Amino acid sequence: MKMAYKIRIYLITAAFLIMSLSSYAVEDIEKGVTLSVNDCIEIAIKNSPEVEIYKDYIDLQSARVGQSKASYFPSIGASGGYDFTNSENRYRTSNNKNFSAQIYLSQLIYSFGKVFSQVKMQKFYKIAAEYDYQNAILTTSNRVKSAYYGVLAAKANVDIQKANVLVNERQYNRSKAFFEEGLVSKIDLVNQEVYLSDAKISLVNAENIYQNAIVNLNNAMYITDAPDYNIENTETFNFKDNYAEVNLVNIANTTTKDDGTIEPKDAVLTMQVEKTDILENYKFTKYPYTLKESIDRAYKNRPDLLSMQATKDAVNEALKYSKREYLPNLTGQVGYNWANNTLYSTNGFNIGAYISTNNLNFMETKLKIKESKVQLDIAKKNVDMVKKNIYFEVQSAYINMIQLEKNIPLMQTKVKQTLENYELADARYEVGLGNFIELQDAKENYNNAQRDYVQNIYNYNVALTNLQTAMGEK
């Protein structure tokens, strides 16, 4: 086992132990607490049955390492017995009582490398179990982050739909006031009522999606009966949380301009509500690694690959052990014997060294070697297959993430453009230069642009998470 393997295992294990000390247990989540994505990951790691099972596998392999080392330690044995013999012939009858006891200490002196190979084999299997444990943590982290971003996306969409309801309420009130003053037709008012109803339905649906997203996050953290809590924005998912309030004053009063245009008088028709600016705080940093660098990092960090490599090393030690089964064991023994019978009593110490083989079957050993060679060949091919799968997994995740990353500034521009168009359409409608359909189309385009933008940010974060997971980074 290379020293780099051991150092990496120690560092990873220490990192997770430190994280677990600061993480929340289920019973520690108080109502209204705000959790970060790392808090949620740590909770999931603590609660995950899968992670616990792989932790048990480490303990199991630790026990097997200890068992393999047992041959380095002496063994002690003892025996005792009683024998009664009765003999009769024509001349005499005799009875013979025999008592005997012995105790001995046996120590393996040299096994010609067999025990050494067994110990190394079990150590490699333990290392593989440790990497399997890290892989379970990595998988758990991926599920939590995807669910976490789902909640953030659903929350952003709820905010958009809330703002949309306020926009439609404002426009309904304005249309109603214009209708009462004879400035717009009845159909405009009825249509606006329909749009307001649709906006309210969309808000209900968005809130339902948000609640389901919370359930998915709780499920990813293995939490039942969770209290209400909040989650923080992340560095790559940092939308503005709040939305603006409506500011509407004296919409019913109208005045006629010199050119004959009728417009509201003393009315403050602010665009604040339309500018529920999800772009305001959002920033992201472009992914810093090339595809080749990402693949190289994956080969270095992926726990499943490292586990497979450790398994291959373990199988290689099993092959060495099979080849050494032809060789004998050198054993030392010291003991004490005592015997007593009807005629005499004896006792004494003995010490000796012995070379022995354990029921060696040359054909069986030959076939065991052949089996071990095949298993080693399979292990090598498994390593090669995992490496190829990692290559294509990272490549696919990288391409997907980069495409979504490129879309972000384009969709930011689209949101700004649709907002500007909506502002112009709203201003035209206020003064009677635009029609109701033009206004609604502009509003719907702006609303859809915001939703699409949020969806793209969600897809980008999930793609980034998948890429990080493919690279073996939590």
Highest mean pLDDT of the ranges 30-34, 444-448, 465-469: 465-469
- The CATH classification number of 75-110+329-359 equals 2.20.200
Could you tell me which residues come within 8 angstroms of residue 253 by beta carbon, excluding any fewer than 6 positions away? 264, 265, 266, 267
Helix 37-47 / helix 3-22 crossing angle, nearest 10 deg = 100
> The domain at 3-73+111-325+360-470 falls in which architecture?
Up-down Bundle (1.20)
Report which secondary-structure segment, H or E, holds 224.
none
Task: Using CA atoms of 435, 438, 440, 444 in order, give the dihedral in degrees to the nearest 10.
Answer: -170
Segments making up each domain of the chain, as ranges:
3-73+111-325+360-470, 75-110+329-359
According to the model, what pLDDT value does residue 264 have? 38
Above 90 in pLDDT, residue 129?
Answer: yes
According to the model, what pLDDT value does residue 92 have? 66
In eight-state DSSP terms, residue 358 is S
Tens-place pLDDT, residues 410-444: 888 888 888 888 888 888 877 677 777 888 888 88
Distance CA 267, CA 251 (A): 5
Cα 30 from chain centroid (whole Å): 24
Tens-place pLDDT, residues 195-219: 888 889 988 998 899 889 988 999 9
Could you tell me which residues come within 8 angstroms of residue 145 by beta carbon, excluding any fewer than 6 positions away? 37, 41, 461, 465
Distance CA 312, CA 381 (A): 9
Whole-structure pTM value: 0.75
